[in-house]
Chains A and B, each alone.
Chain A
Amino acid sequence: MLAQLEIIKFDLTPFPKLRVWYDAIKASPSFEFAHHAFFAAFPQLRGPKPSASGEPAATDTNAAATSAMPTLYWHPISPPSRSVYLFCKLSGSYLARFPHSFAHSLTHSLTRS
């Protein structure tokens, strides 16, 4: 959801914790994969046809596809699609990198109450 604010150059500086969290998430290869086509697609709002260069990859080449795993059907222009993709792809590294992050602290405190 915060990534949408990038297209209007919204400044997260007044919110330092959020900015550190977002910058770190943004630095991951999964974020780049999920958002490249989204940012590239915005010029499409000016016209009916998407540019060929803005077309996203057909599949996630980082994933070792197996028939036993769930398959996520998505499109990077869709914010909920990007949320689910990043939730799956970054959950492990997120926990390793942000042990006291907002989301983890929230979950921890609610779980232990």
Chain B
Amino acid sequence: MNAADIPINVQLVDLFKGEHHGAKFLELNPRGTVPALSDPMPGGETLKLYESAAIMRYLAAKHHSPLYPMTSPRHQARIDMAIESVLQALEPPITTIIFNEVVARLRRLDQDHQAAQRAYLELGGVLHSIDSYATRMHSLSQRSHDVAHTAGVCADDTLRPIRTR
């Protein structure tokens, strides 16, 4: 198992100074968003990437990270499916809560308390699903080597409550 961190240089793009709208940064990422990545290639070219998921998948593949193994298109697709499902389940309630509890209050905008309450319930459900799955996976890894069953538990029990919400 490769347990090394992924080596990167880190460069701040000062959003408060508008550096992400500057010509130099737009050459790297025409959308003007962070994060972005530049990676010098052996032939002298530079790979330019944006979108966080694409950057992480590229770096994990390049460094053979066991957190995101490149085994086969089928396995890769299932990992992507699970990651996207979890992220898409978490992002809407968290965004709703942060907007209503923080941004709207500080900016003195109208707060939708009912939407915030619904988001809290939704978030609790998603976190409970993930936490329960983590608990089951630990016990499964101790007593069962039936990988088909383990994968079935993951795909069915974990993703179902997220998919059918």
A37 CB → nearest B CB, Å = 9
When C-beta atoms are compared, the residue in chain A nearest to B129 turns out to be A15
A31 interfacial contact with B, CB 8 Å: no
A104 interfacial contact with B, CB 8 Å: yes
Whether A78 touches B12, Cβ cut-off 8 Å, given contacts A42-B102, A83-B56, A113-B148, is no
**Cross-chain contact A91 with B67 (CB below 8 angstroms):** yes
CA distance A84 to B65 in the complex (A): 14
Chain B contact residue count (CB 8 A cutoff): 74
CA distance A84 to B51 in the complex (A): 10
A75 neighbours in B (Cβ, 8 Å): 12-15, 20, 34
Chain A contact residue count (CB 8 A cutoff): 67
B59 interfacial contact with A, CB 8 Å: yes
**Cross-chain contact A109 with B154 (CB below 8 angstroms):** yes
CA distance A46 to B104 in the complex (A): 11
B88 CB → nearest A CB, Å = 11
CA distance A73 to B67 in the complex (A): 22
Chain A residues 78-96 with CB under 8 Å of chain B are 78, 80-81, 83-85, 87-96
